[in-house]
Structure 1
Amino acid sequence: MTHAPVLHSEWLKIRTLRSLPAALLALFAVTTAFSALAGADAADDPQSDPLFTALSGVLPGQIAAVSFGALAMAAEYHGGALRMSLAAVPRRGRWFAAKATAVAVPVLLTGLVTAVAALGAARARGGAADGLTGSEQARAILGCAVYLMLMALFAAGLTAVLRSGVAALSVLVPFILVVSFVVGDSVGTVADFLPDKAGQTVLHRTYDGSLGPWSGLAVTALWTVAALAAGAWCVRRRDT
C-alpha cells in the first residue's frame, strides 16, 4: 500500500473511535472556558502577561491533547488491532508515519481554532488581549497549535514504547500537573528544558528564561522526535 491509503485508513480509525473526537472537543471547550475565566480576572492584575493570561486555558486543555495522542496509539494494542494493521501494512515505518500524521493533523487544526477562540473569549470577558499586536497574536495562535500537536505526538510515541495508553497517561499527566509546577520551580533553569515548559514559552508576550518562543518549541520538538523514534523502534523490533 502507498502512503495515501494507509493514511486514509488511520484517519478512519480516528473518526470512528468516539473517545478521540470527544478529546478534541474537550481540548476546545476546556481551553476556551479557562481562558475566558482568566480574561475576566485580568483587570485585577495589571502586571500579568496579557498573552499568557489570554491563552492560560492551554495549561488544562493540553491534557485533552495528550489524551488524544495516547488513546489514538493505545487503540492499536487492544484486541490484536496492531497485528491486523501490520498485516495490512507490512512496512512498519510507513504505518507508524501514517499513524503519527493522523494524530498530528487533527490536533494542529483544532489547536488553531482553539487558540483563536481562546483569545476572543479572553478579550470579550475582560480585555486581556486588547493590547496585543497582530504579530504577537499570530505568533501565539500558531505556536499554541504547534505546541499542542507536539504534546499529542509525544504522548503517542510514549504510548508505543509502553504499549499502554493508561501507562503513558499515568506518566505524562502527573508530570505536566505536578513536576512542571512544583518540582520545576525548584530546579532553576533546568525546568526551562522540560518538554511542556519549553513549549509554553511561545504563549508568553515576554520571557526571561534561557529560551525564546521558537527555541522553546524546538526543545519540545526534540523531546517529541525522541519519543516517536523510540516508539517507531519498538514497533519495528518488538511488536508483532
Structure 2
Amino acid sequence: MGSFPAILRSEWTKIRSVRSTVVTLLLTFVVTVGLGALISLLTKNNFTDFNRNSGTPFDPTATSFAGIMLGEIAMIVFGVLAVGNEYSSGMIRASLAAVPQRGTLLSGKAVVVGSLALLVSVLTAFVAFFLGQALLGDHHTTLGSPGVLRAVLGAAVYLTLLCLFAAGVTAMLRNQTLALGVLVPFFFLLSPILSAVPKVKAVAHYFPDFAGRQMLTVVPPPNEPYGWVAGLVICAAWTLAALAGGAAVLKSRDA
C-alpha cells in the first residue's frame, strides 16, 4: 500500500483527468454567481414590489445566494462523478489492488473531493456575495455586519457538505446513474413537496438541504424550527452517515 500522501496524489490525478468533474465545478461557480447577480439586480429594481407583502425583514445576504439551489445540482453531480467514474470505468479494481485498505482509499478520495469542493465553494460564496451586494445598491449589506461573514462561510460549507454527501451515497450505490437517480429527486422533488405539505413538513425540516440552508441566512424567516448551528450539525450528520455507509459497503462487497 502507498502512503496517504501518495493516495491523495493519485486521487487528484483521477479527478483532474476527467473533464466532466472540472466542468461541474465550473458550473457551480457560474450558476450560483450568475443567478444570484440576476436576482440581486431584479430585487434592487423592484424592491418595493418584492417586499410590499413580505412579513420577513429583507436579507441582502440571502439574496446574493439566490442561485445556490441550482449550484447545488452541479456540486452534487461533481460528488457523484468523483466516485462513480471509477465504478463505471472499472478503475476501482486497480485502485483496490493498489490500496487494499478500503477505508483508507475512501478517506483519501473524500479528502481530495472535499478539498476541491471547499475551494470552489469558498470562491463561489465570496464572489456571489460581493457581486450581489454591489448590484443591490442602497439595499446592500457589508461583510462586517453581524452574521454576514458567518453566512458567507456557511454557504461554502453547505455546498461542500452536499458534495461529500453525494460522494458517500455514490459509494454506497456503486453506480453514478443510480446515485443521480436517487439524489436529484430527493433534493429537488421529495424535499420541496414534503416542505409544502403541512402534516409532514416537519420531516423535511431535518433533510440536509433545509438544514444546510439555515447557515446561509442572516435574517431567518419567522417560525423556523432551529438556527444555523443546528442546521450545520444536521447537515454534517447526514454527510458523515453517507460516508460511513459508503465505507461499509466498500469494505463488505467485491469491486
Normalising by the residue count of structure 1, what TM-score does the alignment of the two structures yield?
A: 0.95
Structure 1's unaligned 5+ residue stretches are: none
Q: What is residue 135 of structure 2 aligned with on the other side?
A: 125
**What amino acid does structure 1 have at the position aligned with 2:205?**
D
For residues 208-219 of structure 1, what are the structure 2 equivalents within 5 Å?
208-219=223-234
> Which residue of the partner structure matches residue 199 of structure 1?
212
Instruction: Kindly indicate whether residue 170 of structure 2 is the aligned counterpart of residue 155 of structure 1.
Output: no
SS at 1:131 equivalent:
coil
Give the match for residue 22 of structure 1.
23
Mapped partners of 1:90, 1:28: distance in 2: 36
CA radius of gyration, larger in? 2
Q: How many residues align?
A: 240
Residues of 2 paired with 1:67 and 1:210: CA distance? 29
Q: C-alpha separation between the residues in 2 aligned to 1:177 and 1:129?
A: 30
In structure 1, the partner of 2:186 is 175
Q: How does 1:33-72 map to 2 (within 5 A)?
A: 33-43=34-44, 44=47, 45-46=50-51, 47=54, 48-72=58-82
Tell me how far apart the structure 2 counterparts of residues 219 and 129 of structure 1 sit (CA, whole Å): 32
Shift of 1:133: 5.1
Separation of aligned partners in 1, 2:181 and 2:138: 34
The alignment-based identity, stated in percent, is: 41
Amino acid at match of 2:64: A
d(CA) in 2 for partners of 1:92, 1:103: 16
Query: What one-letter code is carried by the residue in structure 2 that aligns with 1:10?
Result: E
Post-superposition offset of 1:79: 3.0
Confirm or deny that 1:229 pairs with 2:240.
no
Specify the code of the residue in structure 2 equivalent to 1:161: M
Deviates more, 1:200-209 or 1:79-88: 200-209
Q: C-alpha distance in 2, partners of 1:128/1:190?
A: 38
Q: Which residue of 2 aligns with 1:85?
A: 95
For residues 6 and 140 of structure 1, what CA distance do their matches in structure 2 show?
Answer: 33
**Coordinate RMSD, CA, aligned:** 1.6
In 2: Cα distance, 1:15 partner to 1:138 partner: 31
Q: Deviations over 1:109-164 (max 9, x none)?
A: 10000011111221222238723552423112211111111101111111111111
Alignment partners' CA distance in 2, 1:126 and 1:177: 28
What code does the residue aligned with 1:107 have? A
Q: 1:128 to 1:99 in 2, by over 3 A?
A: farther
Letter in 1 for 2:25: L
| Aligned residues of 1:196 and 1:220 also touching (Cα < 8 A) | yes
CA contact (8 A) 2:11 2:108 kept: yes
After TM superposition, list the pairs within 5 Å mapping 1:100-139 onto structure 2.
Answer: 100-127=110-137, 130-132=140-142, 134=144, 135-139=146-150
Q: Residues 189 and 128 from structure 1, CA distance in 2 versus in 1: closer, same or farther, beyond 3 angstroms?
A: farther
Task: Identify if the C-alpha distance between structure 1 residues 23 and 180 changes in structure 2 by more than 3 Å, giving closer, same or farther.
Answer: same
